[in-house]
Amino acid sequence: MGKILIVDDTLFMRTLLKNILFSGGHTIVGEAENGEDAIAKYQELKPDLVTMDVVMPKKNGIEALQGIREIDPNAKVVMCTAVGQEQMVKLAVKSGAKGYIVKPFQAPKVLEEVKNVLGA
């Protein structure tokens, strides 16, 4: 089980992910609501994995992913994307994302993707 940082600008989505991940035995070490905060919290908390929303204020998820990978090239980041954002997912994977989950979240798929990435 991993220590996870949840990054999403919407409290509802952070809470939903937190509940899913907690039910899977993971520890939530922190939350961030924008890309700038995500980079700072990553440095501070050193999580095993980050769930990262794509569309956020200040820095979007792709920019935050790139910032985190500059700090830690081995960072494990799973992008959270809405249906229809395939181009963003492709860009995220090119930028170093290890996986992605699609909104609306389905608990079994979220937990499976997190397990796969943590095991990688």
pLDDT digits (tens, 9 = 90+) for 1-54: 899 999 999 999 999 999 999 999 999 999 999 999 999 999 999 999 999 999
Taking CA atoms, 41 is separated from 30, 65, 84, 114, in Å, by: 7, 12, 29, 19
Is residue 28 a contact partner of residue 47, using CB atoms and an 8 Å limit?
no
C-alpha–C-alpha distance, residues 51 and 38, integer Å: 10
- Give the integer Cα–Cα distance in Å for 104 and 35: 21
> Per the confidence metrics, is the pTM higher than 0.85?
yes
Quote the CATH superfamily of domain 3-112: Response regulator (3.40.50.2300)
Q: What is the pLDDT of residue 86?
A: 78
Q: Are strands 49-53 and 99-103 parallel, antiparallel or unpaired?
A: unpaired
Average pLDDT estimate for 45-71: 95
Radius of gyration for the alpha carbons in the chain, expressed in angstroms and rounded: 12
In the chain, pLDDT over 90 holds for what percent of residues?
A: 84
